[in-house]
Amino acid sequence: MKTITKPDAMFKAVMAVKTKGKSVGFVPTMGALHEGHLSLIRRARKDNDIVVVSIFVNPAQFAPGEDLKKYPRPVSKDIALCRKAGVDFIFYPLPKDIYPQGFKTYVSVDDLSQVLCGRTRPGHFRGVATVVAKLLNVTQPDILYLGQKDAQQAIIIKRMAEDLNFPVKVRVMSTVREKNGLALSSRNAYLNKKEKEDALVLFKSLNLALLLIKGGLRDAGRLIKRVRELISKKKSAKIDYIAIVNAETLEPLNKIRGNCLIALAVRIGKTRLIDNVLLKV
Amino acid sequence: MKTITKPDAMFKAVMAVKTKGKSVGFVPTMGALHEGHLSLIRRARKDNDIVVVSIFVNPAQFAPGEDLKKYPRPVSKDIALCRKAGVDFIFYPLPKDIYPQGFKTYVSVDDLSQVLCGRTRPGHFRGVATVVAKLLNVTQPDILYLGQKDAQQAIIIKRMAEDLNFPVKVRVMSTVREKNGLALSSRNAYLNKKEKEDALVLFKSLNLALLLIKGGLRDAGRLIKRVRELISKKKSAKIDYIAIVNAETLEPLNKIRGNCLIALAVRIGKTRLIDNVLLKV
Average pLDDT, chain B: 97
**Model confidence over B88-124: pLDDT tens digits?**
999 999 999 999 999 999 999 999 999 999 999 999 9
Chain B nearest-CA distance from A138, in A, is 6
pLDDT of res. B206: 98
Q: Does residue B84 belong to any structural domain of this protein?
A: yes
Nearest to A111 among B104, B160, B164 (CB): B104
The CATH number assigned to the domain holding B222 equals: 3.30.1300.10
- The pTM score is 0.97
Per-residue model confidence as pLDDT tens digits over A79-127 = 999 999 999 999 999 999 999 999 999 999 999 999 999 999 999 999 9
Among B102, B159, B112, B208, smallest CA distance to A156 is for B102
**Centroid of chain to Cα B111:** 18
- Do B166 and B205 fall within a single domain? no
- Predicted confidence band at B255 (pLDDT cuts at 50, 70, 90)? very high
pLDDT score at A113: 95
| Helix A220-232 and helix A200-214, axial crossing angle in degrees, nearest 10 | 150
- Residue B181 included in any domain: no
**What separation in angstroms does the CA of A71 have from each of A31, A134, A236, B78?**
9, 22, 21, 55
Q: Exposure string (b/e) for B189-211, b if CB count within 10 Å is 16 or more?
A: ebbeeebbebbebbbbbbebbee
pLDDT-derived band at B241, boundaries 50, 70, 90: very high
Burial (Cβ within 10 Å: 0-12, 13-18, ≥19) of residue A37: buried
Model confidence band, residue B237 (pLDDT cutoffs 50, 70, 90): very high
Report the pLDDT averaged over residues A268-272: 97
Percent of chain A residues topping a pLDDT of 90: 100
Question: What tens digit of pLDDT does each residue of A52-68 get?
Answer: 999 999 999 999 999 99
B261 and B205, same structural domain?
yes
pLDDT digits (tens, 9 = 90+) for B135-176: 999 999 999 999 999 999 999 999 999 999 999 999 999 999
Kindly indicate whether the ipTM for this predicted assembly is greater than 0.90, answering yes or no: yes
Residue-level pLDDT at A51 = 98
Instruction: Identify the pLDDT of residue A126.
Output: 98
CB atoms within 10 A of CB B59: 12
| Whether residues B164 and B195 fall in one domain | no
φ/ψ of B171, rounded to 5, equals: -115, 125
Do B84 and B127 lie in one domain? The reply is yes
CATH number at residue A30: 3.40.50.620
Residues of A in contact with B133 (CB under 8 A): 133, 164
In terms of domains, do B97 and B220 share one?
no
Distance of CA A79 to the CA centre of its chain: 20
* pLDDT tens sequence across B2-18: 999 999 999 999 999 99
Domain contains A181: no
Q: Note down the domain range covering A232.
A: 186-280
Same domain, residue pair B245 and B140: no
For residues A11-18, average pLDDT: 97
Phi, psi torsion values for B218, nearest 5 degrees: -125, -5
Show which of A173, A202, A227 is a domain's final residue.
Answer: A173
Residue A247: its pLDDT value, please? 96
B15, B21, B133 ranked by CB distance to A164: nearest: B133
Contact A105 B104 (CB under 8 A): no
Q: Which of B6, B97, B104, B112 to mutate to test the interface with A (most CBs of A within 10 A)?
A: B104
- Is the same domain home to B139 and B221? no
Q: What digits encode the pLDDT tens for the residues A163-191?
A: 999 999 999 999 999 999 999 999 999 99
A253 domain-assigned: yes
Average pLDDT score, chain A = 97
Query: Which distant-in-sequence residues (6+ apart) come within 8 Å of B38 by Cβ?
Result: B81, B85
Task: Measure CB to CB from residue A105 to each of B105, B160, B249 and give the nearest one.
Answer: B160
- B101 CB burial (10 A radius; 0-12, 13-18, 19+): exposed
Residue B179 domain-assigned (yes or no)? no
Q: How many domains does chain B have?
A: 2
A37 noted as active-site residue: yes
Residues B12 and B82 in one domain: yes
Asked if the structure places residue A180 within a domain, the reply is no
Average pLDDT, stretch A208-233? 98
Give B22's pLDDT tier (boundaries 50, 70, 90): very high
Which three-class secondary structure state does DSSP give residue B219?
A: strand
Structure confidence at residue A165 (pLDDT): 98
pLDDT 10s digits, A126-154? 999 999 999 999 999 999 999 999 999 99
User: Does residue B93 sit in the same domain as residue B216?
Assistant: no
Instruction: Determine contact, residues A237/A267, Cβ cutoff 8 Å.
Output: yes
Do residues B253 and B189 make contact, with C-beta atoms less than 8 angstroms apart?
no
At B45, the pLDDT band (50, 70, 90 cuts) reads: very high
Q: Which of B141, B173, B205 is the last residue of a domain?
A: B173
Q: Which of these three, B145, B173, B201, is where a domain ends?
A: B173
d(CA B128, CA B130): 5
Instruction: Indicate whether A194 and A109 sit together in one domain.
Output: no
CA distances (Å), origin B262, targets A139, B196, B211, B220, B221 = 39, 22, 13, 10, 12
Q: Say yes or no: B19 and B92 in one domain.
A: yes
